[in-house]
Structure 1
Amino acid sequence: MTETALALDRLRAGELVAIPTETVYGLAADAANPQAIAKIFALKGRPADHPVIVHIAGSAQLADWATDIPAHAWRLAEAFWPGPLTLILRRQPQVPDAVTGGQDTVGLRAPAHPVTQTLLRQFGGGLAAPSANRFGHVSPTTAQHVRDEFGSQCPLVLDGGQCEVGVESTIIALLDGPPKLLRPGGVLREQIEDLLGVRLEHHRHSQSAKLRVSGLLDSHYAPRTPLISGPMHSVRTLAAAAAAAGQRVAVLTLQGSEGYPASILLHPMPGDPVLYAHLIYDALRQLDSLGFDTLYLECPPDSAGWLAVNDRLYRASHQRIV
């Protein structure tokens, strides 16, 4: 039996399977089976009212899960699916509350990874699949990350290699009023605005009290080691002082080693936002496993191309220096 066939058997039996996507690895269960979805929440330690995104093969399944679908949704699906874009729409009545957190909306996306595309086409339905990690922790971008996260509790993992994008999907709400950017991700804000010919509403670092969606808590995507982020000069000063006080310190730097004491481990990150997104979760996981007292991070530029990366770093940081 192939791994895909085994995964299908387990999903149809109400069990969990970790699946690769182009963004991060997901912890998948049959989205039509509330008992199966409950296993995701139990394994992750996820709050019961926190909704999960339903993964489908493509736009042909949109109407199975959503109703009152606006023209903007069809245009976005045609342009960016399969791909790293989640649409928040009005739910069909039969969609389980376990998926929606009891709301009248549902999040839908069609992932681009060929392994999961094949799985979804053969499965025929939708898969609820939040990131395959403990709630609030750094998302996994390799199969080994998933195994490390869950240890002996780890479900079957379909190994699809390292995730190409490396941060979670863009989330767009298409409900009342103009489209809203709720979470930046692999599809850029500018690409969506150009396609729709409208300006997206986006309230940075805040979540509407009226709508709960995945990944918008102020503390999320975080390593277990304290992470302090800020401008280069502030990080350099604080990291040097911590090292001088005897702490074991690492710095994720964009600027190289100049100005840092030799006792500090430096982890250089690329100056390109696409490559940075591809590598950041792996870097945080590596450093988190090495027993440092504190991690420091030099913040990337506050410009359009870095919107998704800066969103994740804001939520991953235990302390943010302005």
Structure 2
Amino acid sequence: MTKVIRIDRYNPEIELIDYAAEVIKKGGLVAFPTETVYGIGANSFDEEAVKRIFIAKGRPQDNPLILHIASIDQVYDLTVEFPEKAKKLVQKFWPGPLTIVLKKSSKVPYINTAGMDTVAIRMPSNSIAHLLIKRAGVPISAPSANVSGRPSPTDASHVIEDLYGKVDVIIDGGKCDVGLESTVVDLTDEIPVILRPGAVTLNMLQEVLGEVRLDPFLLKKPDMDIKPKSPGMKYKHYSPRAEVYIVKGPLDKVVKKIKQLAKNQLKIGKKVGIMATVQTSTQYEEGEVIVVGDREKPESIAKNLFEVLREFDRREVDVVFAESFDYDEIGLAIMNRLEKAAGYKEIEAEGS
């Protein structure tokens, strides 16, 4: 049986944290909140425990995991080198929603790294996550706490929906603040490369390091032959049960096109969902309209994106039409997740 425990992230009960930490120490699985999304965690050094993560999620084993730490000193244990660029980044952004990829040490089992000689490391800022790692005394390997391919969980109810009965403990620590997984930066080559965009944006990274590049696969349908250095690079992710289509173009034309598409689907008996924004929601008269956030506050869209995708499932819609967003700053991360949720299915609104 899965034990669900509620912990106040503003005043974490240490005896409850210690209970979950003991589960980690003994080879168990604990789902816990971070500032980004909920994770399903195991002792990184316990290969059998880490294997259980892949089984619980139904996750392909060539999809690497992120190791979560509570102290910068732990980086030296997990890597063969802690370069100056990495030190600058962690000084600026840790604890927080940034993952760095470095050359791994021999202490890190290959089960965590999909057989590669690189390791992804992050220090979460969420107080529950930070204390759990600290009290467990080991790095915790933790992908998102959802069934593989489903929208990532930003609330404990999502974890219970997907993983109850598959993990030992679920910590309910309330809603996540960011709502999208961490930015992942590969620091193993001369020029840093963003493998997954997140709340720490390209501009933020460039302010610290100078030249930083985007991985060319970020907004392209993934090549199934690649060996991903970061979670989420290869497989379909974040998908509700409905078919999702992204409608692109000037906003007024996007709204017009979505209304037309929705009417066509309703005529053939489909239940339609529309992912709208504060600026557009009142313009739609058909379908299940859900406001994902405010275009003038893109962080609100990031925070709500996965919750909205799951809400469409609860409403049992057949098809979802989503407005597109700008690709700058955190918009790049939003579109990266939305493209994957849609399986890269796009409709142009130009000329509609």
What's the TM-score, normalizing by structure 1? 0.95
Distance in 2 between residues matched to 1:27 and 1:211, nearest whole Å: 20
SS of 2:332's partner is: helix
* Residue 169 in structure 1 maps to residue 212 in structure 2: no
Equivalent residue, structure 2, for 1:239: 262
Aligned to 2:247: 230
Would you say 1:275 and 2:300 are equivalent positions? yes
1:314 pairs with 2:339: yes
Question: 1:123 deviation in Å?
Answer: 1.6
Measure the CA separation in 1 of the matches of 2:299 and 2:24. 33
Query: Which of 73, 81, 90 is 2:103 aligned to?
Result: 90
Corresponding residue for residue 212 of structure 1: 229
Alpha-carbon distance in structure 2 between the residues aligned to 1:201 and 1:227: 25
Aligned to 1:294: 319
Q: After alignment, is 24-33 or 224-233 more displaced?
A: 224-233
Structure 2 residue corresponding to 1:8, chosen from 4, 10, 21: 21
Q: Does 1:26 align with 2:49?
A: no
After TM superposition, give the deviation of residue 258 of structure 1 in Å: 5.4
Q: How far 1:259 moved relative to its partner?
A: 5.2
Q: 1:117 — aligned with what?
A: 130
The TM-score with structure 2 as length reference comes to 0.87
1:79 matched residue in structure 2: 92
Confirm or deny: 8 A CA contact 1:72 1:196 kept in the other structure. yes
- Range with bigger deviation, 307-316 or 193-202: 193-202
Distance 1:305 1:290 in 2: 28
Is the contact made by 1:205 and 1:218 (CA closer than 8 Å) also made in structure 2?
no
Q: How far did 1:75 drift? A: 0.7
2-structure distance, mates of 1:168, 1:63: 24
Distance across 2 between alignment mates of 1:79 and 1:197: 14
The residue aligned with 1:148 is: 161
Q: Choose from 207, 215, 221 the match for 2:238.
A: 221
- The 1:230/1:217 distance shift into structure 2, 3 A limit, reads farther
Contact 1:58/1:82 (<8 A) preserved: no
Mean Cα deviation higher: 153-162 or 5-14: 153-162
CA distance in 1, matches of 2:66, 2:121: 6
Residue from 190, 193, 197 that aligns with 1:184 = 197
2:276 matched to which residue of 1? 253
Asked if the contact 2:62–2:227 (Cα under 8 Å) also holds between the matched residues in 1, the reply is: no
Residue type at the aligned position of 1:309: I
What do the CA deviations read for 1:90-132 (whole angstroms, capped 9, x no partner)? 0001210110110000000000100111111112210000000
8 Å CA contact 1:57–1:110 kept in 2: the answer is: yes
Equivalent residue number for residue 76 of structure 2? 63
SS of residue in 1 equivalent to 2:231: coil
Give, in whole Å, the separation in 2 of the partners of 1:197 and 1:102.
31
**AA aligned opposite 2:189:** D
Structure 2: 5+ residue stretches without partners: 1-13, 249-253
Structure 1 residue 69, shift from structure 2 partner: 2.0
Unaligned runs of 5+ in 1: none
**Offset at 1:256?**
2.4
Decide which moves more: 195-204 or 143-152: 195-204
TM superposition shift of 1:30? 0.2
Query: Mean Cα displacement is larger for which, 73-82 or 196-205?
Result: 196-205
Query: What root-mean-square deviation, in Å, do the aligned CA atoms of Structure 1 and Structure 2 show?
Result: 1.7
CA distance 1:101–1:60, change in 2 (3 Å): same
Give the Å deviation of 1:237.
2.1
DSSP 3-state at the match of 1:38: helix
Say if 1:243 and 1:249, in contact at 8 Å, map to a contact too. yes
CA 1:249–1:201: 2 relative to 1, 3 Å? closer
* Identity rate, percent: 33
Confirm or deny: 8 A CA contact 1:73 1:87 kept in the other structure: yes
Alpha-carbon spacing, 1:201–1:248, altered in 2? closer, same or farther (3 Å): closer
Give the 3 Å change call, closer, same or farther, for CA 175–253 of structure 1 in structure 2. same
Give the direction of change, closer, same or farther, for the CA distance of 1:305–1:128 in structure 2 (3 Å limit).
closer
- Cα distance in structure 2, aligned partners of 1:297 and 1:273: 15
From 55, 58, 66, the counterpart of 1:45: 58
